[in-house]
Structure 1
């Protein structure tokens, strides 16, 4: 029996198009899974940085902890700060209902920090725990152990951190070094600039494990309107699917105070994401 190619060609083309479409769909799904790791790390990393900023700001307002006494800049009027001199415990309380903060996010719950010595003393440690702590109705857990290596530099170990999101739970742990590179000689927080570097491990909302390492330090500018996100820095992320992602907080250059970052997958595909 003879088969006329002209009659079969439309079917062959249709089949080829269907296969190509299916392959593209699979690639898009895989890309979405991969980008999840970058987004998960950004969410966890940023809020732990925010917690560090809140604690640092409150340290500046407590005469028994720091000589750089200043009025608090990061806390909204719906939050309070208290310090127990007997237990050396500072509590930042956002209340039990959502409190609108200066970065546009709502928070509730407590940040509780226990100081072993004044932060200005090299070797001093501060252990910070999140208690019923929510950001934009997403629950954050975790413990931060900060060791001051000097007045302006410190190391941070983050343990048992998680973020419960509508799409699933992110788990995260990290080791960080933080350096204050501007605003060292003034009492206020708003002129401070910090550099973050280190490594982390986590599991994203889809259950994919990943590890990260800092390729270029993450820069945090604490000026009003700029402290909501890192303005620059690059993180390299490797996930258990065998893919490598590069998260760039300054894809356009110039360190703008925006919420745009870029993820490059395996050095080929690039996707722009909006940070939360």
Structure 2
């Protein structure tokens, strides 16, 4: 009888482990967490870029006010007309949520240190959120962007490093993130004025790694460039491959260029869809 009981217990443990692994292999949690980190730090840079361009540190325009309205105040130290660098830019959204013209809520501060003109090769921008929340997700970490000049197609490229990043959800769950990218300015580099800012788009290539909210480590590689745009809060197109520890490879498809929140995930021949926050 004892042998039978031990056999049943062993079978139960194997069956339970197998069921749990099947459930984890169907989960899109890792893909959702990676996409949330991607969106959070893309947002931090978009806000900073708009502030730079609207404060005579780049081509002129008033995109910041048209997108963020009266949600934030921008200060620069040392202030213009002092033309010396580095400059520290503080973008303050206040302590309560403020909704922009696209329905996105933000609060907290973004601090950026810029070493020169945005368009000048060699310029670096170090961006650090301070108690910064995007739709109630807290974004922490450091994003460093460096202008490395034009590529063979004549498009300006930037290296992008994200370190010590954490996205904390309203329920207290969190995901960690690191990445190393190249960002190519593919649309809008030659245009000026308000339209010249609002039409800007970039293609992003590179790799990332992190830990999802369940504590599972993963590695990510961009297999088709991610297209991001000033006028879209989500990644418009591109694909990535995510390899969570001990699970099947995930292929994440952000679409074909439409500005929408739909993300498709393929896992071991099965397709799933989730909507970005």
Same-fold status (TM-score > 0.5)? yes
* Cα separation, 1, equivalents of 2:182 and 2:101: 25
Answering whether residue 184 of structure 2 is matched by residue 179 of structure 1, we say yes
Q: Which residue of 2 aligns with 1:69?
A: 60
* Cα separation, 2, equivalents of 1:81 and 1:234: 35
Q: 2:36 is paired with a residue of what secondary structure? A: helix
Q: Which residue of 1 aligns with 2:11?
A: none
Q: Which residue of 1 aligns with 2:82?
A: none
Change (3 A) 1:149 1:272: same
- Return the match for 2:258 from 234, 256, 259: 256
Q: Which residue of 2 aligns with 1:38?
A: 31
Listed one character per residue, the Cα deviations across residues 80-134 of structure 1 (whole Å, up to 9, x for unaligned) are 1111126610111110111112332211111100112222221111111010111
* Cα separation, 2, equivalents of 1:147 and 1:78: 28
Q: Which residue of 2 aligns with 1:10?
A: none
* Cα separation, 2, equivalents of 1:216 and 1:115: 30
Q: Which residue of 2 aligns with 1:123?
A: 122
- Return the match for 1:29 from 18, 23, 36: 23
Q: Which residue of 2 aligns with 1:246?
A: 251
- Return the match for 1:234 from 230, 239, 244: 239
Note the C-alpha offset of 1:26. 4.1
Structure 2, unaligned runs of 5 or more: 1-14, 80-85, 151-155
- Return the match for 2:201 from 176, 193, 198: 193
Answering whether residue 50 of structure 2 is matched by residue 57 of structure 1, we say yes
Moved over 3 A (4+): 21-28
Answering whether residue 161 of structure 2 is matched by residue 154 of structure 1, we say no
How high is the TM-score relative to the length of structure 2? Answer: 0.83
* Cα separation, 2, equivalents of 1:102 and 1:22: 49
Note the C-alpha offset of 1:40. 0.5
Listed one character per residue, the Cα deviations across residues 16-62 of structure 1 (whole Å, up to 9, x for unaligned) are xxxxx9899646621354x1111001000011111111111111112
Give me the CA root mean square deviation.
2.1
- Return the match for 1:81 from 68, 74, 87: 74
Note the C-alpha offset of 1:183. 1.0
* Cα separation, 2, equivalents of 1:136 and 1:275: 11
Q: Which residue of 1 aligns with 2:225?
A: 217
* Cα separation, 2, equivalents of 1:160 and 1:102: 30
* Cα separation, 2, equivalents of 1:91 and 1:28: 47
* Cα separation, 2, equivalents of 1:101 and 1:175: 29
**Higher Cα Rg: structure 1 or 2?**
1
Q: 2:31 is paired with a residue of what secondary structure? A: helix
Structure 1, unaligned runs of 5 or more: 1-20
How high is the TM-score relative to the length of structure 1? Answer: 0.83
* Cα separation, 2, equivalents of 1:239 and 1:22: 20
Q: How many residues align?
A: 246
